[in-house]
């Protein structure tokens, strides 16, 4: 398992700066997206759930409505403070939050019935380590699920997309393709039971503003997306509407059970 890296410090800086805006981002708060993830796990009222990279806790609170107990884990203090404030305000009793590293989850093996992670794998250098840890803390025959950005199956198009995502947010490492995500799961002996993709339309200026992307990085990202609109370089299908530029992010949900 790797030692704390410079990239993890980048993640902490990014999500400390973005914490309030990220917690209100429509793509993050989307109740239908969250409900699809909850449904994909088949969570039961007696289950103990871990959400890895919980951020402001939206997914954790939603699972809390369907199960016995939820623990939300995150690397960064600022979004956890938002989650804790929401917990106090809502007087929620079955959701708890802890700070920790997704590559070294501070929980015993086989201690959760369901382990989930949403919109986070593209921020880590070693997604395979994260899924390995998720599998370690999940009981045999328990459920694991990941929801995340996914990119083209064609490496050149995937890299073009990941490049403008990194320009927007330096904590972005690399979103995986669906086939790569499936491979990461099967390497941990997770039998895939559920696979779904949906697209989210992003307004480029709002997308940049939410991440507080500085110039000239924002200009470079805009130029890449404009070029993509003309030449079809990433699969994100950029388009203009009322003189504003948009593109489509593909989100995938992969869920399955851990083989005994």
The band of 176, judged by pLDDT with boundaries at 50, 70 and 90, is very high
H runs (alpha helix) in 107-243: 127-137, 155-168, 178-187, 204-210, 217-231
The pLDDT tens digits of the residues spanning 183-205 come to 999 999 999 999 999 999 999 99
* Alpha-carbon separation of residue 213 from 7, 170, 224 (angstroms): 17, 9, 15
Largest CA distance in the chain: 55
Mean pLDDT, residues 230-258: 98
In angstroms, what is the C-alpha Rg of the chain?
A: 18
pLDDT digits (tens, 9 = 90+) for 67-121: 999 999 999 999 999 999 999 999 999 999 999 999 999 999 999 999 999 999 9
Q: Which of 61, 192, 32, 38 is nearest to 114 (CA)?
A: 38
Residues 6+ away with beta carbon under 8 Å from 1: 103, 104, 129
Owner of token pair 């199960």: 67
Give the pLDDT confidence score for residue 22 in this predicted structure: 79
Q: Which domains does the chain have, with CATH numbers?
A: 6-151+170-198+251-258 (3.40.50.150)
Phi, psi of 14 (to 5 degrees): -65, -45
């Amino acid at each position: 398992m790797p030692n704390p890296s410079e990239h993890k410090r980048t993640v902490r800086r990014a999500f400390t700066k973005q914490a309030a805006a990220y917690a209100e981002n429509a793509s993050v708060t989307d109740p239908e997206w969250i409900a699809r993830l909850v449904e994909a796990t088949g969570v039961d009222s007696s289950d103990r759930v871990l959400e890895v990279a919980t951020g402001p806790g939206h997914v954790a609170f939603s699972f809390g409505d369907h199960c016995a107990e939820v623990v939300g884990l995150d690397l960064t203090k600022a979004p956890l403070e938002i989650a804790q404030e929401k917990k106090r305000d809502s007087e929620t009793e079955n959701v708890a939050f802890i700070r920790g590293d997704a590559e070294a989850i501070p929980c015993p093996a086989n201690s959760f019935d369901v382990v989930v992670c949403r919109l986070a794998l593209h921020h880590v250098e070693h997604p395979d380590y994260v899924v390995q840890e998720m599998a370690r803390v999940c009981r045999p025959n328990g459920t694991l699920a990941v929801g995340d950005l996914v990119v083209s199956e064609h490496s050149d198009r995937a890299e073009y997309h990941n490049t403008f995502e990194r320009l927007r947010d330096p904590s972005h490492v690399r979103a995986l393709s669906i086939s790569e995500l499936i491979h990461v799961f099967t390497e941990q002996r997770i039998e895939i039971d559920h696979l779904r993709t949906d697209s989210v339309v992003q307004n480029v200026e709002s997308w940049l503003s939410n991440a507080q992307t500085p110039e000239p990085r924002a200009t470079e990202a805009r130029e890449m997306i404009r070029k993509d609109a003309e030449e079809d370089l990433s699969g994100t299908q950029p388009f203009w509407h009322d003189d504003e530029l948009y593109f489509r992010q593909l989100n995938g949900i992969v869920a399955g059970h851990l083989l005994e």
